[in-house]
Amino acid sequence: MIPIAKPLLGEEEAKAASEAILSGWVTQGPRVKQFEEDFAAYTGAGFACATSSCTTALHLALKGLGVGSGDEVITVSHSFIATVNAVRYCGAVPVFVDVDDRTFNMDPALIEAAITPKTKAILCVHQIGMPCDVEAIVAIARNHGLKVVEDAACCAGSEIRINGKWEKIGRAHGDAACFSFHPRKVITTGDGGMVTCNDPELDGKLKLLRQHSMSVPDTVRHNAKEIIFEEYPAMGYNYRMTDIQAGIGIEQLKRLDGLVAERRKLAALYSGLLADLPVVAPHQPAWASSNWQSYQVLCPGLPQKAIMQAMQDNGVATRRGIMNAHRERAYSENEPCVLPGQGLPVSEMIQDTGIILPLFPGMSEEQVHTVVDELKKAIASVK
Ligand SMILES: Cc1ncc(COP(=O)(O)O)c(C=O)c1O
């Protein structure tokens, strides 16, 4: 079976985890601090705050930027549902805009029409590794006094060209960018997340909130000669990353550029081989460079599930593409959200026609050929 994804974890990560365990300090401590510094340096951000996941990173970032009850946040329904959940955790209302049919990302041309006096922020997503047009999105936000949070869950190592210079996603181009280290991502810590930003005040707020709003962290009290009593000036959360995860993360980050280079090669091979098939290969704008966290094709007019089943039966795992929160009962029946009058036709078309193909470190060129051959056969068999 050719799997859909596979994390690359080796002896280095096992040794780092073991060292963290044997050090006696296993949750947020020196390794978390090191991982934060390394990640900030890698992305070019001023600050990084490690969290337990990207979902908690998104909640912290929105909260830290002042999003609260009754506010509106412009975002996409076409994302993993955690994007929208984070808005609801703040008591805010998600206002959906449609996505571009080629990049699968928020269409900046649709944002202005969604802005109301209640709009507080824009939560854009760099979907499956492909940078969204964050430069255009930030320009609109600044015109209207809105905050921008980037959901960069899948985007470690992706780049965007701004003023002729390539910059890493997470620099951060908005007010904060949030990453995931779930095993389906390009680098993993098992679970885990990170918020990057350039505002020391925001970073301080995030670091307070993620550890119960504890005024003096346990690491500081542990190393102090005098007795210090901490305070809790606000209600906080336990969104900590452990030092065991951070130890793994430090090693994963060293591999990131190599992993992205390998994924880019495999994606280019796919794109060439798919040219003869009746599918739409992903589009990369000239100003974007994806890490190819996922490689999704669209199969318009073809039976998505039957193609996936035929490939599965012949030893190739696939996944359907990104779903839409507004079609899930969590939002269609229970939680408030706002859809544009014309609905979200592009978001729905992508969900209904998208198929994610296998792409993982160590995948051979032969395996890419096999996947494309099986896709071709599957299409022929269901026509
Ligand atoms: C776009 C997006 N946002 C948020 C998340 C949530 O990440 P985590 O599982 O680290 O909470 C994911 C995970 O797949 C995602 O793809």
pLDDT tens for 59-104 read 999 999 999 999 999 999 999 999 999 999 999 999 999 999 999 9
Are 337 and 95 within 8 A, CB to CB? yes
Q: Report the pLDDT averaged over residues 361-370.
A: 98
In ligand 1, which atom is closest to the CA atom of 193? Answer: 10
Greatest C-alpha distance within the chain? 76
In ligand 1, which atom is closest to the CA atom of 53? Answer: 10
Counting ligand 1 atoms within 8 A of each CB, the residue from 180, 184, 188 with the most, and so the one to mutate, is 180
Q: Report the pLDDT averaged over residues 137-149.
A: 98
CATH 3.40.640.10-classified regions of the chain: 11-255
257: amino acid identity, one letter: D
Handedness of CA 56, 174, 118, 74 (dihedral sign): negative
At residue 268, the pLDDT reads 98
| φ, ψ for residue 6, nearest 5 deg | -160, 125
pLDDT over threshold 90, residue 116: yes
How many C-beta atoms lie closer than 10 Å to residue 333's C-beta?
Answer: 7
Counting ligand 1 atoms within 8 A of each CB, the residue from 52, 54, 89 with the most, and so the one to mutate, is 54
Q: Report the pLDDT averaged over residues 310-333.
A: 96
Q: Report the pLDDT averaged over residues 315-328.
A: 96
Name the active-site residue from 147, 185, 205, 207: 185
At residue 338, the pLDDT reads 96
The beta strands (E) that lie in 111-174 are given as 119-125, 147-151, 159-162, 165-168
Residues ≥6 apart with Cβ < 8 Å to 137: 106, 108, 111, 122, 124, 148, 174
CATH 3.90.1150.10-classified regions of the chain: 257-382
Distance 369 CA to ligand 1 centre (A): 29
The mean of the pLDDT values for the chain is 97
99 DSSP 8-state letter? B
At residue 383, the pLDDT reads 78
Coil, strand or helix: which one is 58? Answer: helix
Q: Report the pLDDT averaged over residues 161-173.
A: 97
At residue 264, the pLDDT reads 98
Unique residue bearing structure tokens 């009058």: 341
Distance 23 CA to ligand 1 centre (A): 30
At residue 326, the pLDDT reads 97
Q: pTM of the full predicted structure?
A: 0.98
Are 353 and 304 within 8 A, CB to CB? yes
The C-alpha atoms of residue 217 and residue 206 are separated, in whole angstroms, by 13
Q: What angle do CA 176, 289, 127 make, to 5 degrees?
A: 55
In ligand 1, which atom is closest to the CA atom of 86? Answer: 4
Percent over 90 (pLDDT), the chain: 98
Counting ligand 1 atoms within 8 A of each CB, the residue from 4, 80, 126 with the most, and so the one to mutate, is 80
Classify domain 257-382 by CATH architecture.
Alpha-Beta Complex (3.90)
The C-alpha atoms of residue 208 and residue 182 are separated, in whole angstroms, by 23
Distance 87 CA to ligand 1 centre (A): 13
Active-site residue 185, yes or no? yes
Distance 180 CA to ligand 1 centre (A): 6
At residue 279, the pLDDT reads 97
Q: Report the pLDDT averaged over residues 327-341.
A: 95
Q: For ligand 1, which residues put their CB under 6 angstroms from it?
A: 53-55, 79-80, 82-83, 125, 151, 153-154, 180, 182, 193
Q: Report the pLDDT averaged over residues 10-31.
A: 97
In ligand 1, which atom is closest to the CA atom of 58? Answer: 4
Q: What is the CATH number of domain 11-255?
A: 3.40.640.10
